[in-house]
Amino acid sequence: MARGLWASKSVAEYFSKFTSVVKVCDAPKEPSPVTASNYRQLAEGFLPAPEPPEKNGFNPKATIPFGVTTDHLYESMKDFTGFVEFVDTQLRAQEMARFEDILMAANFSSLVGEFMSRTIPKHCKTVVKNNRFNGHPDILPAGKYPNDSVRRAGIDGIEIRASRYLKSWQAHKAEDMWLMMFVFQSGRLNPKVTEQVGFKFLIVAGGLLTKADWPARRSETGHTMTEESVTTTAAQRMMSNWIYKCKELR
């Protein structure tokens, strides 16, 4: 029984043809390679694209310590928007979601802050990244601490934070610090944002804060929360020393 198809050499011929068809059907679609000629086309096909900082959006009267200037910040912010565009373009070539949509919102905010704390010293040689794990502040004066590493230096440096919000700025620990806050919009959709927009820096502000500017919030159990929000008065003081504003907020 079962003659014909399963007879002698026809079995091998059939099996060979069948597996060849399956391999072709199951083969993943070859992603579009990113080249110099199609880079812009892929980026534009993934709109809205990140917007670079505006050169005329910086405040020449802003006070920034340790030799950091608005030119250094402009280059660092431009590096980040270029980084996001590059990553998004690569993801677009693979037909994947945008970088901002892949990461959790809190993780993306942490990424912005970490990127800036590592990039500012690249453009400003009077400061360095604090190499201590969980060390504060994020940026230290160059050449002052062994191995550019210190656990706590208080106001002897710049703490970098990033937020999607224009208020309720938070830190992991209430302490004296010179805080620089990067406020941005991301393209991430949520119940309050139904239209996708590209990444964009909205405001950069900075100022000297004390422990009194970070009143601890308490949970329902009465325990102190691990993060504190800067007071409204302190935020207003930082905004009086605004460093950058996009054109919509100037």
pLDDT in tens, 65-122: 999 999 999 999 999 999 999 998 898 888 888 888 888 888 999 999 999 999 999 9
| 2 DSSP 8-state letter | -
Nearest 5°: the CA angle 114, 118, 122 is 155
Q: pLDDT at position 174, please?
A: 72
Which one of 90-99, 107-116, 169-178, 231-240 scores highest in mean pLDDT? 107-116
Q: pLDDT at position 20, please?
A: 47
Which segments of 4-48 does DSSP mark as H helices, in order?
Answer: 8-26, 39-44
Phi/psi of residue 86, nearest 5 degrees: -65, -50
Q: Is pLDDT of 200 > 70?
A: yes
Q: Is pLDDT of 193 > 90?
A: no
Q: pLDDT at position 106, please?
A: 87
* Least confident segment among 3-12, 28-37, 131-140, 200-209: 3-12
Q: Is pLDDT of 45 > 80?
A: no
Q: What is the pLDDT averaged over residues 176-185?
A: 94
Q: Is pLDDT of 54 > 90?
A: yes
What's the whole-number average pLDDT of the chain? 80
Q: pLDDT at position 192, please?
A: 57
Nearest C-alpha neighbor of 88 from the set 158, 142, 34: 34
Q: What is the pLDDT averaged over residues 137-144?
A: 97
Read off the amino acid at residue 57: G
Angle between helices 70-93 and 105-123 (to 10 degrees): 130
What is the pTM for the complete model shown?
Answer: 0.77
Which segments of 94-193 does DSSP mark as H helices, in order?
Answer: 99-102, 105-123
Q: pLDDT at position 1, please?
A: 47
Q: pLDDT at position 48, please?
A: 78
Report residue 197's pLDDT band, with 50, 70 and 90 as the boundaries: confident
In whole angstroms, give the CA distance from residue 124 to residue 68.
Answer: 6
SS3 for 73?
helix
In whole angstroms, give the CA distance from residue 91 to residue 88.
Answer: 5
